[in-house]
Structure 1
Amino acid sequence: MTTTIFAPILPADLDWQGDIPVARDYDDPYFSRQDGIAESRYVFLNGNRLPERFSTLSSGQLFVVGETGFGTGLNCLLAAQCFLQTAPPQAHLHLVSVEKHPLTLKDMRTALAHWPELASLANALLTEYPPATPGQHRLKLHPRISLTLLYGEAEQCWSLFQHPVDAWFLDGFAPACNPDMWQPALFAEMARLSRPGTTLATFTAAGFVRRGLQESGFVMNKNKGFGHKRHMLTGEIPHGSPASCPADSPSVIVVGAGLAGATTARALAERGCKVTVMDPDGIAQHASGNLAGVVYSTPSAHLTPQNRFYQQSYSHALRWLARQAFPRDKSDGQLNGVVQHYVDDKQQEKLTQALETGAWPSSLLIAQGEHAAELVGGGYLRPARWCQHLLDHDNIRIEKISVTAVHEGQPATVTLDNGQSRHADAIVLCTAANTTTLPGLQWLPLKLIRGQVSYCQATEASRLWQQAQCHGGYLTPALDDLHCVGATFDLHNDSPVTSEKDDQANLAQLERYLPRLWLELGGQQINIVDRRVAFRCQSLDFLPLCGPLPVATENPHRPATGLYLNLAHGSRGITGTPLCADLIADLICKHPLPVDQQLVDALAPERFIVRKRKKQSGWTP
């Protein structure tokens, strides 16, 4: 696994000189004082011959642009505009850009107001603009245009990126102002991600830049610069080939219609795949079937792969929900923040450090007095309605049928309980712990954790509650005039039968941590109307299993052709599944991935086989 160390992100410190943003740290403007749009088009779009190359793309073809300095997003927005004006209607554009010090949302809004002709794309960017947290952030500017923002040092970010790039915008503050970026190591990463025919363009003509790029494999040319600048550089990896062209949209079978299956199916369908969802019990009938679930995370100052997944999946889920306009109304839930009450000094210290270090910026986490913090943008919703909403798509078909076996190959195959077989280009198992009942998959390191939630009758006082509350358990505002109080956490009970004892445990925990709300709910007279038992599926290291299914044979590193897993989301299913769904969909469709290689490794199902082999060989980390 990659061992890159991530650090909190510091936003840009700007000096607004009229309507021109200037970076104080680099004493350089973000775009030309003369004409920012004209310079960007001249240098980056025309320097990479993008209008011509976009116009010659074929249906379904993918074009990837890489950029070394996002800044105000001007270059990316202009590339997106050019793509929509010149590319055929079924082509796709993926923009990938790095930024060490992202602008705040307020500053970004001010900067983009400078260009009303880009308003439509700029508004899409502002709507999805991510918080200042390290790593990759996937945004959608248009149904055919994705933007992946990489927050951090350019060289580090690109070293964790794997997809080939077709054109480079080598942008950033001038080499004299920002020498740390314009280094041979960055040029080498650009060359690694390039292929024959990949081009680059940059506003600078500095000799050491030209020589460094030449040494990395680019054939460089000096061209007339824009405006008062004498020269600029363009380059190309020789022996050109066309942009990447994934195969026609694959057919996919998704097994399971809970949160993991519904998000996976939707992510694939939006990429043009024909998806069949198979589940003998229908939509959201197991752990995804509770009346309410909470969209939340567990903030930490320590940016380990596990904690970065919790952070990145949280903001990613919020973008998904906003994009899908869900919740549609209060009957679906609300995204108005989640209050996390400190249950002990250790948790208080953990969240305080997350705030004070900047690992979790105020756009995601704010203090709520001395005894709680609020997860900004989180909330509660009905998981079953969310699943139904996601599965309502023309490219998705749902079948109530049981899968008894899966087989790798091209195509991949499922065997059904009626003895028939079905084939698809890919199969994704979103079947939680039931995955281990399939032949050959008993080795998966999964555990079941029983949880019982209590549905309590709302009172006159409790009907005024607006925000979900997390403590040792959780408490949601009323849906159907019922509050969810839960949930027990029992590793040693496999009974599906509800129990009065578990109800009392839920209420005792509520009384202990939130006594005022316990009283408003009725205190000793709380009316428990119903309850529900479900089993959380969790891995041994608390991260989901998301990626190709490895084969537990003599060659455990060989992925099973066409078979993928998306499971073991534990109690964070609403939060974690959208990011994992995009990861699975991009793996299948051969698009740039939404997470960096460190998180790809951390989520890969084969990590447990690798660890087992190392343990058996006596290797210790």
Structure 2
Amino acid sequence: MSLPTFSPIQPANIEWQENTPVASDYDDPYFSRQDGMAESRYVFLDGNRLSERFSGLQADQYFVIGETGFGTGLNCLLAAQQFLATAPAGARLHLVSVEKHPLRHDDLRTALAHWPELAELAAALLAAYPAPTPGLHRLQLHDSISLTLLYGEAEQLWPLFNHPVDAWFLDGFAPSCNPDMWQSALFSQLARLSRPGTTLATFTAAGFVRRGLQEAGFRMEKRNGFGHKRHMLTGTFSTDSTTTDIPARQQTSPSVLVVGAGLAGATTARALAERGCQVIVTDPAGIAAHASGNLAGVVYSTPSAHLTPQNRFYQQSYSHALRWLQHHDFPSSPEQGRLNGVVQHFVDDRQKAKITQAMDSGAWPEELLKPVGGIGVELVGGGYLSPADWCKHLLNHPGITLISSVITDIEEGAPARAMLADGGQLHADAIVLCTAGATPRLPGLGWLPLKHIRGQVSYCRATEASKQWQQARCHGGYLTPAINGLHCVGATFNLHDASPTPSKSDDDENLQQLKTYLPGQWQELGGEDIEIAERRVAFRCQSIDFLPLCGPLPLANENPHRAARGLYLNLAHGSRGITGTPLCADLIADMICGTPLPVDQQLVDALAPERFIVRKRRKQPEWKP
């Protein structure tokens, strides 16, 4: 089976007719000219009986709403508003909505301004609203409400989503205006993702829609429509004529042991704690003591026009990391860093052509990537920060306990078990190894296909001129503005050097690279008289296909599709730990808690540790980017 092909996203073309946005390509308004809010409440909220279903939830239950056209977000925001008003504390709502042509940010702001009673939720949506790039985007509208936006073709994206839905908003432009969406393929996906008792509601009463949904397994009912519309449809998914509502699902909040307190461990622990889990983090070296411990790191990505799973992960994790940092209000001071854009300088014609192609193709829209005076591009929203301060910030949560035990072995089970160097044991419902290059030292994990790449960064004393620098810069290496009077210049990349001792030759290499690609900055930093105050060596952990290992730990000597019970990996982030770990943390946390995942199935498979076992058993060559 071939992988789905993703394409750049084309934002919506909007024509404003008085106060109503109309989609030019479909000649259809986004909401009722008569009263859009009242129509949405009547059709989608009342049509799915959400008020009574929300109020009937238990504190540990969650509810999933799927939608076939996000538009202005009105339906989702109204559902969120009703959930906050009627659901018990502790319950959670997951909104999942697909959109082929997302509104531009300014158009969305203008549309949402019509409804001041939704201002707080609208502000949360606008603050986190993703750039138009294909795939899934996870937003947090409230501590108890997440929104996952699926940008792209509905018939392509719903097959890559694999979590049951409790209620459907079958929205989108009218069938007469948008016939491509209202097809049996969509109805089959609705049925696949439904369970007995799942409801749906839609504003249309078209006969072929009603018949198509009936053929897919929904018991349909025609009801009075809103305003001047005569009829609408509601439905209930059922395998027989007597099925009634089944209880909402419980979100598990297990006990979890996270091994490692670097970027992967800190983000994983925080994602779990925010889902109500009790988390123990253990690291005998302390917080961010290894590869996550450099003075500064850069939040960036590698633009590409080719939307392969690898490149989509780089892009999606970049945007996801920016939303995490914004949500957690970090960095909050210049000593912690700044998110004011990263300048990627062109180092040669090949790189320039690749990045220019990414911009011209639309795969990287101007909200994320823009040219900088012919010398390079700016990764919008990126920046630099102190990884250690970020880790400490994340681990400061009442649901997280930090200890310093040494783990010598792990065993699957319910609960899973970790053996300690002092002879003791720790038990947890799940164990997540965020141990990077140390992971193969554990018994049975030597098969992991990991590379350990030495890097040395040089900490250079700031000058009066360099103190004025505001943005991080990437070239052959990277250069950050000063933190505590020191600039990070680096970093070397050596696969065949295992020495932990810093060397003058590596400092010379870092400064020569700076001189070659950024001669102006090299001169402002002191030129031949640059003062190196400190240097640091760490070892990047990278997989052989350049993607992290994120997911259940497979049993190498058994069926590769049988994962070890309760054991997970989140490691091999290479030099992109700041950027990649938040998305992987949410993926691991949702897997453990049994809630909707923040990435599509294609990326789940691309990140799964079992990919290497499957590849080996099938005797397939390693996939190379």
TM-score by length of 2: 0.98
Matches within 5 A, 1:390-539: 390-539=394-543
Equivalent residue for 1:592, pick from 593, 596, 610: 596
Distance 1:536 1:616 in 2: 26
Would the alpha carbon gap of residues 249 and 618 (structure 1) be closer, same or farther in structure 2, given more than 3 Å must change?
closer
Verify the 8 A CA contact 1:283 1:384 in the aligned structure 2. Answer: yes
Show the counterpart of 1:55. 55
Q: 1:351-389, CA deviations, whole angstroms, 9 ceiling, x for partnerless residues?
A: 101111110010100000112100000000000000000
Show the counterpart of 2:77. 77
Show the counterpart of 1:352. 356
Q: Which amino acid aligns with 2:577?
A: G
Would the alpha carbon gap of residues 2 and 568 (structure 1) be closer, same or farther in structure 2, given more than 3 Å must change?
farther
Verify the 8 A CA contact 2:62 2:251 in the aligned structure 1. Answer: no
Show the counterpart of 1:291. 295
Equivalent residue for 1:337, pick from 335, 338, 341: 341
Show the counterpart of 2:163. 163
Indicate the SS of the match to 2:389: helix
Distance 2:248 2:519 in 1: 59
Show the counterpart of 1:601. 605
Distance 1:275 1:252 in 2: 5
Deviation at 1:616, TM superposition (A): 6.9
Show the counterpart of 1:230. 230
Q: 1:483-525, CA deviations, whole angstroms, 9 ceiling, x for partnerless residues?
A: 0000000001000000000000000000000011101111111
Distance 1:237 1:197 in 2: 6
Q: Which amino acid aligns with 1:295?
A: V
Would the alpha carbon gap of residues 618 and 436 (structure 1) be closer, same or farther in structure 2, given more than 3 Å must change?
closer
Distance 2:143 2:213 in 1: 34
Distance 2:289 2:244 in 1: 52
User: Could you say what the CA RMSD is over the residues aligned between the two structures, in angstroms?
Assistant: 1.4
Verify the 8 A CA contact 2:343 2:473 in the aligned structure 1. Answer: yes
Verify the 8 A CA contact 2:282 2:403 in the aligned structure 1. Answer: yes
Alignment of 1:555 onto 2:554? no
Verify the 8 A CA contact 1:546 1:580 in the aligned structure 2. Answer: yes
Would the alpha carbon gap of residues 15 and 616 (structure 1) be closer, same or farther in structure 2, given more than 3 Å must change?
closer
Q: Which amino acid aligns with 1:132?
A: P
Deviation at 1:242, TM superposition (A): 2.8
Show the counterpart of 1:309. 313
Show the counterpart of 1:134. 134
Matches within 5 A, 1:168-183: 168-183=168-183
Show the counterpart of 2:194. 194
Indicate the SS of the match to 2:165: coil
Verify the 8 A CA contact 1:68 1:97 in the aligned structure 2. Answer: yes
Distance 2:329 2:184 in 1: 45
Show the counterpart of 1:221. 221
Distance 2:90 2:2 in 1: 36
Verify the 8 A CA contact 2:615 2:622 in the aligned structure 1. Answer: no
Indicate the SS of the match to 2:509: helix
Q: Which amino acid aligns with 2:290?
A: H
Q: Which amino acid aligns with 2:130?
A: P
Matches within 5 A, 1:21-100: 21-100=21-100
Distance 1:422 1:371 in 2: 54
Distance 1:142 1:619 in 2: 39
Q: Which amino acid aligns with 1:106?
A: D
Verify the 8 A CA contact 1:341 1:372 in the aligned structure 2. Answer: yes
Equivalent residue for 1:569, pick from 548, 568, 573: 573
Distance 2:568 2:499 in 1: 30
Distance 1:524 1:307 in 2: 39
Verify the 8 A CA contact 1:198 1:240 in the aligned structure 2. Answer: no
Would the alpha carbon gap of residues 294 and 413 (structure 1) be closer, same or farther in structure 2, given more than 3 Å must change?
same
Distance 1:85 1:142 in 2: 13
Q: 1:373-431, CA deviations, whole angstroms, 9 ceiling, x for partnerless residues?
A: 00000000000000000000000000011111111000011011111111111000000
Distance 1:14 1:521 in 2: 49
Show the counterpart of 1:108. 108
Distance 1:587 1:139 in 2: 17
TM-score by length of 1: 0.99
Would the alpha carbon gap of residues 145 and 250 (structure 1) be closer, same or farther in structure 2, given more than 3 Å must change?
same
Verify the 8 A CA contact 1:93 1:144 in the aligned structure 2. Answer: yes
Identity %: 73
Q: 1:100-121, CA deviations, whole angstroms, 9 ceiling, x for partnerless residues?
A: 0000110000000000010010
Verify the 8 A CA contact 1:569 1:577 in the aligned structure 2. Answer: yes
Indicate the SS of the match to 1:10: coil
Q: 1:577-598, CA deviations, whole angstroms, 9 ceiling, x for partnerless residues?
A: 0000000000000010000000
Show the counterpart of 1:363. 367
Distance 1:571 1:2 in 2: 30
Alignment of 1:10 onto 2:10? yes
Verify the 8 A CA contact 2:552 2:569 in the aligned structure 1. Answer: yes
Q: 1:542-565, CA deviations, whole angstroms, 9 ceiling, x for partnerless residues?
A: 000000000012312101110000
Verify the 8 A CA contact 1:246 1:589 in the aligned structure 2. Answer: no
Q: 5+ unaligned residues in a row in structure 2: which ranges?
A: none
Q: 5+ unaligned residues in a row in structure 1: which ranges?
A: none
Distance 1:272 1:617 in 2: 42
Would the alpha carbon gap of residues 617 and 241 (structure 1) be closer, same or farther in structure 2, given more than 3 Å must change?
farther
Distance 1:505 1:380 in 2: 22
